[in-house]
Amino acid sequence: MAAKSRGLGKGLDSLIPVGKVGVESSAKKESKEEKGPVTIVNINKVEPNREQPRRQFDEDKLLELADSLKKFGILEPLIVKDRKKYLEIVAGERRWRAAKLAGLKEVPVIKKDLTEQEIVEIALIENLQREDLNDIEEALAYKRLIEEFHLKQEELAERVSKTRSVIANSLRLLKLTEEVQKMIIDEKISAGHARALIMVEDPKQQIELAERVFDERLNVRDTEKLVKELGKEKKEKQKKEIDAALKAIYEKMEEKLKAQLGTKVSVVPKENGVGKIEIEFYSHDEFDRIISHIK
């Protein structure tokens, strides 16, 4: 699957230090910088953010990072918020998880007094920078920022350095059925495939097409073509159903007019609702009778 474009969130560097800080020297570097002092804390006092947008962590990559931490320690401190009873991770959950796997007893942290909105934004931006979120996690994070903190799409786009169209396209993925969203998370289909499938309104059909895309290894263009053909078939089916319904109405009206006028009447439909009504007569007297009846 193609890699997602990298998003560099605005304002993140003012909250998260981008410089590398070694574990051994970090305790001595309780600097007077705006970033805040680095402190060493017991790893058991640190807990992940339950509202963190990222839900899945690659176990193999975590093990690789754990091996690195055993040799070099944590080179970049975690950003945390002091919740009194514990320290909540704002940025760095992956490092924290790997540190636990590595058997580390302590981790370097920087405590920040952040609002709930800033916590969500930082967690989202950090993952976007590292390309750690799958497309559904990213869309859910955008949705939360919009709904919970009443941000408009334009405001959100500015805060995470994305275009409004990127935000809108991401949010559209949440219109898909849960089964298809799960296929995106499991990397069975890409977001490009999924956006083509959004056009399929029937949930069952949407799932069936997604499974076909996966089974037949269809590319995005083939998927779009498949959905387009399906749309044509749907329109043709609807047209046939409408034509059949109209035919029944016309036939009923023919019988009604025949009974009222006492002669054969034909309703002749054409395209786009156009047509004509033919009334037959077989003598001048019958013509006069029909005209008198109509008048």
Active-site positions? 93
Element spanning 271, H or E: none
- Residue 133: predicted pLDDT: 79
CA distance 55 to 171: 17
In this structure, the number of other CB atoms found within 10 A of the CB of residue 156 comes to 21
Neighbours of 66 (CB within 10 A): 18
Helix (H, G, I), strand (E, B) or coil at 163: coil
Q: What is the pLDDT of residues 166-184, one digit of tens each?
A: 999 999 999 999 999 999 9
Nearest 5°: phi and psi at 172?
A: -60, -25
* Residue 54 contacts residue 90 (beta carbons within 8 Å): no
Q: Give the start-to-end residue ranges of the domains of the chain.
A: 246-294
Supply 158's token pair. 């500015």
More confident residue, 164 or 272: 164
User: What's the pLDDT band for 197 if we cut at 50, 70, 90?
Assistant: very high
Evaluate the CA torsion angle 208, 211, 212, 218 in order and state its sign. positive
Alpha carbon distance 63, 178 (integer Å): 30
Q: Which of 249, 246, 267 lies closest to 258 in space, CA to CA?
A: 267
**Collapsed DSSP state (helix, strand, coil) of residue 234:** helix
- Residue 223 near residue 193 (C-beta atoms within 8 A): yes
| Res 129: pLDDT | 66
pLDDT digits (tens, 9 = 90+) for 99-147: 999 999 999 999 988 888 888 888 777 777 666 678 998 898 899 889 8
* Pick from 106-120, 188-202, 234-248: least confident: 234-248
Which residue would you say has higher pLDDT here, 124 or 283?
Answer: 283
- Six-digit token pair at 173? 């993925």
Report the distance separating Cα 58 and Cα 16, nearest Å.
23
